[in-house]
Amino acid sequence: MANYSNIFVKEGISYIEYRDLIVSLFKEGKATGDDSSEEMLHYTRLNIQRMERLDKTAVLSETLLASVQALKNRYHFLVITEGWCGDAAQIVPLFDKMTAAFPEKIDLRFVLRDAHLELMDAHLTGGARAIPVLLILNEAGELVARWGPRPAVAQQLLNGWKTEYADKHIRSEKLHLWYARDKTKTTQQEIEKLIATLEED
């Protein structure tokens, strides 16, 4: 079983470090992970822009903020991600905003999927290494909740598009159009529900 606490403390990086890593690698013509193909660099470029936009424009709902504020204990958010992952770019800025709002409630760290395959393979989605994955740990370092890689509604839509469109680029365009129209609302609602379960009796 994964030593979540050890990974969090010794290998996790902050959101700022994660963002800086993606940008610095991109400037060197590299993506995170082992694949720095033109396609991955293209996705990375888009994701840098997406995260910059969400860092500036995303606003957490009052209900999500209230759910975090109501937590009695402190939690560690360990996120498995990669800079080239479009879903991650649409989601992880929200985790940073939650942490910034309540640093006494949440400690946030990121690890790269391809550098932590043993951890990733313990949290597959339908047998796939789909990211991002949010692992919520208690102060003892025990896993208490998991979420990812995308909101359930988006997953259902994507499943339908996979049968309708063979071209993955078309599916990606449709998915990111959904994210743009949703404006993080559905993601926030799901995270809020997850937070609410953490301290249920």
Predicted TM-score (pTM) of this structure: 0.95
How many structural domains comprise the chain?
1
CA distances from 3 to 6, 22, 115, 135, 145 (A): 5, 26, 15, 12, 15
What is the structure's pLDDT at 51? 98
Tens-place pLDDT, residues 132-158: 999 999 999 999 999 999 999 999 999
Residue 14 is assigned to a structural domain of this protein: yes
Residue 140 is assigned to a structural domain of this protein: yes
Task: Decide if pLDDT at 201 tops 90.
Answer: no
CATH number for the domain spanning 43: value is 3.40.30.10
What is the structure's pLDDT at 1? 61
What is the structure's pLDDT at 77? 98
Residue 37 is assigned to a structural domain of this protein: yes
Give the mean model confidence (pLDDT) for residues 102-118. 97
CA distances from 7 to 2, 19, 92, 141, 185 (A): 8, 19, 19, 10, 30
Residue 159 is assigned to a structural domain of this protein: no
